[in-house]
Structure 1
Amino acid sequence: MWGIKAGALSLAVIAAASGCSSSSDVAAKPVAAKPKAVSVAAATEQFQTAVVNSSGQCYSPDPGTCWDVMQSVMKPARTLRTAMHADKSVGAEFWSGAYALINTMEDGMAVGDDEGADKPADFKHRNRATVLGTAHDLSDWLDENPVQ
């Protein structure tokens, strides 16, 4: 009798330790729906609106005074890149110019803060111009290369 009880107890301990369960008390986790990608047209509009809104917003040449504006342009540029990547109506070669411009903007953002523009002659060598100037170039590129 002792052997039967000990054997049954051993099986119960092993089953519990291994996570085995005869009941279906563990509910399956729902799979989150993948968010739908923004269309290129919508992403282009959002990006170009951000570029227009950024114009004239960086009055001070002091470092750190334009970082928020730079971020407000970079975020929709990243969304645009995602939309371009998802768009299968044209090939990657079509987007190569836009990708290069977004990569240049990313290089400027990689500094991690607005370097400012201490002297007007230095502006072209600071990341503010790299991000915002290139954003204007990308906006022009999008106007010149519309996707239907």
Structure 2
Amino acid sequence: MGRQFWGKTVGTLALAAATVAGASGCSGSSDKNTAKPAAKAEPLSVTEATTTFQAAVTKFDEDGGCLEKAPGTCWEQMQAVMKPARDLRKAANADRDTGAEFWSEAYALIDTMEDGIAVGEDKGATAIGTNRPDVLGSAHDLSEWLDRNPVA
């Protein structure tokens, strides 16, 4: 009985060790995973992000803005200016030449845009609680701020 118990104990310990080694990637095999993690994309420069954001606002205006007043008809346009605004914030965060104090007004405008987008839909032009001014009005204010405060 002692041999059987000892054999089972050793077998259990060996199985546990193999399981831990396999889970931690410490297997003795020479087939190691050589794949490297994907490199993180570099944020746009402030100049590139500014240009991209202002181009999105200009495109919105040239396309006629939100032509329909009904709810849900301007959501795509709202998102089209929000994405480059987020990219601009990332670029501003990475900008070591100007610092956060310089960007404080721009950050506040982007935060207002985020609040409008957080609603999750276009509330329309005439609805009580419309979010278009938060997103689109602040986008225009931010574009004007960028004109008054060039970084390039």
Same fold (TM over 0.5): yes
The alignment of Structure 1 onto Structure 2 pairs a total of residues equal to 144
Are 1:141 and 2:149 an aligned pair? no
Structure 2 partner of 1:65: 73
| Between 72-81 and 48-57, the greater mean CA deviation after superposition | 48-57
Alignment of structure 1 residues 40-55 onto 2, 5 Å: 40-55=46-61
For residues 92-124 of structure 1, the C-alpha deviation after alignment (integer angstroms, 9 at most, x for no partner) is 100001001111111111111111123xxxx79
Q: CA RMSD in A?
A: 2.6
Q: Give unmatched runs, 5+ long, in structure 1.
A: none
How far did residue 9 of structure 1 move? 5.6
Could you tell me which of 14, 17, 20 is aligned with 2:19?
Answer: 17
When the two structures are superposed, what TM-score results if normalisation uses the length of structure 2? 0.82
Q: What letter corresponds to residue 88 of structure 1 in structure 2?
A: R
Q: 1:124 and 1:144, CA in 2 relative to 1: closer, same or farther beyond 3 A? A: farther
Q: Give unmatched runs, 5+ long, in structure 2.
A: none
When the two structures are superposed, what TM-score results if normalisation uses the length of structure 1? 0.84
Identity score, percent:
55
Alignment of structure 1 residues 1-148 onto 2, 5 Å: 12-19=14-21, 21-55=27-61, 56-118=64-126, 126-148=130-152
Q: What letter corresponds to residue 134 of structure 2 in structure 1?
A: T
Q: Secondary structure at the match of 1:72?
A: helix
Structure 2 Cα separation of the partners of residues 14 and 99 of structure 1 = 53
For residues 113-143 of structure 1, the C-alpha deviation after alignment (integer angstroms, 9 at most, x for no partner) is 111123xxxx795211211111111000001
> Following TM superposition, where does structure 1 have runs of at least 4 consecutive aligned residues deviating by more than 4 angstroms?
5-12
